[in-house]
Amino acid sequence: MRIEDPKIVSALPAPAVELKRGASLADLTSLGIGGATDLLRIRKHEKIPDLLRLLDANNIPHKFLGGGSNLLVADGELPWIVLQLVRPEPEVVLEGNFAYVDAAADLGRTVTFCAMNDLGGMEGLIGVPGTVGGALRMNAGAYGMQIGTFVREVKLYRAASRKIETLKGSQISFEYRHTSFAPDDMMLAVKLELPSKPYREILKGIRICNEKRRSSQPLGQKSAGCIFKNPPGASAGRMIDELGLKGLSVGDARISDRHANFFVNVGKASAKDMLSLIADVRERVRAGYGLLLENEVVVWSA
C-alpha cells in the first residue's frame, strides 16, 4: 500500500517519522519472504498517538514490525503499511539491577551488554534473533528461561486507549510463547530486573547455549526460528522428524535437515510455498499423532 495523498505525507511529523516508499518485507524479515509496502520509521515514541490518529482518520491500515525474525509475510503488493521503531542510542541504560531497554534494541546485544555489566539470567536468549520488543510480545524463551520472568514494567502504545501507557510486570501474563498484550499493542520500552552474576560465569552459560544451538539449529540459513509451538508434553521438531519429513519442500521452502521445526528459504521461496508446506506438515502431524500444531511463526496475510 502506498500513501498517495500529499496532504497525508506532509502531515507526517518529519524527521521524527520517516517515510520509506515501497520497502521490501523480504529484506526486513529473517525468512527473506514478503511483498512491498510503504514503511514508516519512528524515532520518537511520543509521536505515535498522533501518527496513528492520522492513519486511522485516513483509513490507512498498518502493522507493527519488530526485528522480523518470527514473521511470514504475504507476497506481492501488501494492503497495509508497516510501522517500525528506529533503534536509539543508547539502547540500554542500567541502574543497579534494572535495565531500561528500548523495544527496538537488538536482543542479543542487550543480553551481551547486561552480561558485561555483571547482570545475568538471560543467557538462553543469546542466539535468539530479533528485537527486545518482539521477544517481549511473544515471551521468547530458550533453554529453560523466558524473558517475561525479568519484566518489571512495560511502556507500550495501547490501541484500545490510543495512549502510551506503562504496565507493571504483574499486570501482564507471560505464558509459553504467549502474552496478554493485545495484537495491536505496540511495545516501546521495558524495565528488566536481572540477577547479579560475574561476567565470566554468565559467559560460560552463554557459550553452552551457543554450542547447543549451533549443533541443533540451522543458524546460517534463512528461517523464522521454530515454525510451530510445542504442544504440551511433545516436541513438534521430533514429531516432524519421526515422520521422515526433513528435506520436504514446496518450491524453495524446505524443512531443515538439521532441525525439523525450522523451515528454511533456500532460494526464492514465496509466502504461498511456505504456507503450503506448513499446512501439509500440520495435516501429516494431525494424521500421525492426533495433535493439531499451532503456529509459532506470526503470519501477515494480504
Where in the sequence numbering do the catalytic residues fall?
Answer: 177, 226, 296
- Between 30 and 37, name the residue whose CB sits nearer to ligand EPU: 30
Residues 30-69 that bind ligand EPU (CB under 6 A): none
Report d(CA 152, CA 140) in Å as an integer.
Answer: 16
Could you say which of 81, 99, 226, 274 contacts ligand EPU (CB under 6 A)? 226
- Residue 260 lies near ligand EPU (rule: CB under 6 A): yes
Query: Contacting ligand EPU (CB under 6 A), which of 17, 99, 115, 142?
Result: 142
Among 178, 229, 272, 284, binds ligand EPU (CB under 6 A): 229
CB 225, CB 128: distance < 8 Å: yes
CA-wise closest residue to 218 among 204, 236, 237: 237
Which residue number, 39 or 239, has a Cβ lying nearer to ligand EPU? 239
Judged by beta carbon, residue 29 or residue 230, the one nearer ligand EPU is 230
For the chain, the first-to-last Cα distance in angstroms comes to: 11
Of 217, 282, 272, nearest to 245 by C-alpha is 282
Is residue 296 a contact point for ligand EPU (CB under 6 A)? yes
d(CA 62, CA 88): 22
Residues that bind ligand EPU (rule: CB under 6 A) add up to a total of 16
Question: What does each C-alpha distance from 7 to 10, 60, 265 come to in angstroms?
Answer: 5, 13, 40
Asked whether position 29 contacts ligand EPU by CB under 6 A, the answer is no
SS3 32: coil
Of residues 2, 168, 207, 238, which one binds ligand EPU by CB under 6 A?
238
Helices (H) and strands (E) in the chain, counts: 8, 18
The residue type of 86 is: V
Query: Which one among 112, 149, 235, 295 touches ligand EPU, defined by CB under 6 A?
Result: 235
Q: Which residue do the cell numbers 504467549 mark?
A: 178
Kindly tell me which of 35 and 237 has the beta carbon lying closer to ligand EPU. 237
To ligand EPU, the closest distance from the beta carbon of 127 in angstroms equals 8
Residue (35 or 141) nearer to ligand EPU, CB: 141
Select the span of 84-92, 104-112, 156-164, 234-242 touching ligand EPU (CB under 6 A): 234-242
237 binds ligand EPU (CB under 6 A): yes
Cα gap 269→55, rounded to integer Å: 32
Q: Count CB neighbours of 139 within 10 A.
A: 21
Q: Are 229 and 236 a contacting pair, CB within 8 Å?
A: yes
Tell me how crowded residue 106 is: count the other CB atoms within 10 A of its CB: 17
Q: According to the binding rule CB under 6 A, does residue 261 interact with ligand EPU?
A: yes
Q: For ligand EPU, which stretch binds (CB under 6 A), given 82-90, 99-107, 152-160, 225-233?
A: 225-233
274 binds ligand EPU (CB under 6 A): no
Compute the distance between CA of residue 120 and CA of residue 94 in angstroms, rounded to an integer.
13
Nearest residue (CB) to ligand EPU, 198 versus 244: 244
Q: List contacts with ligand EPU (CB under 6 A).
A: 142-143, 216, 225-226, 229-230, 235-238, 241, 259-261, 296
